[in-house]
Amino acid sequence: MFNLIFKDILIQRKSLLFGVIYVFVLILCFQDTGITMFLTSAIGFSYMMIQSACAYDDKNKSDILLNSLPISRNTIVVSKYVSAFVFSGISIVVYSLLTVIINLLKLPIKVSPITLEGVIGILFAIVLMCGIYFPVYFKIGYIKSKVYNFILIFGILFLTTTLLPAILGDKSKVIIQILTKFFSSQSDLIIAIKMLILIILFFSISCMISLNIYRKREF
């Protein structure tokens, strides 16, 4: 499994370089936005790398090759899910290095510090997007799933920024106040643990769905 993840990293050497530039550009674009800078940079970089790995697999007919080798389909599926966490980790490392370089060179650029809340937020966003996307990807492949991926990304943005506020109206403020009160009564560690449990549960369910789909797929 780890060889498959390492393969996804190696085939994207050029994409990694582009990703570093991408993160730096987002840092410049999201000045004075606080933690939004960190979240946007890391989430964007992570999901870009995940999508790129899927694109390379489709271009190189990796599914046909891997299924001709003594590698179980379970391993192929699980490696994709684990790679989501690996790419999230890489994105955080890239952001950290750029932050250090900016501070060492004393560039006139404001950077948001890395926080536990930010890391949990990144993992939650990546798990949500990949947890929905991967079952579709394993069902119909990368090319056909591009449309669903487009709908997924903009659907989540539309849902969270436009639709829900419009439906809930003033109730959204009450809900936010209730959630704020609920979380403020608990320590950051407890909140982080609960979020991690939720992340693992959702990803596990998504992984089981993908495993069931991929086992039945013919190449």
Using CA atoms in the order 154, 160, 164, 170, what is the torsion angle rounded to 10 degrees? Answer: -150
DSSP 8-state class, residue 186: S
pLDDT in tens, 40-70: 888 889 988 999 999 888 888 888 888 888 8
Residues of the chain under the 50 pLDDT cut: 168, 172
Residue-level pLDDT at 178? 61
Residue-level pLDDT at 158? 63
Residue-level pLDDT at 91? 92
Any idea what the Cα angle at residue 219 is, between residues 149 and 61, rounded to 5°? 65
Residue-level pLDDT at 94? 92
DSSP per-residue string spanning 29-86 = HTTT-THHHHHHHHHHHHHHHHHHHHHHHHHTTHHHHHHTTT--HHHHHHHHHHHHHH
Residue-level pLDDT at 181? 65
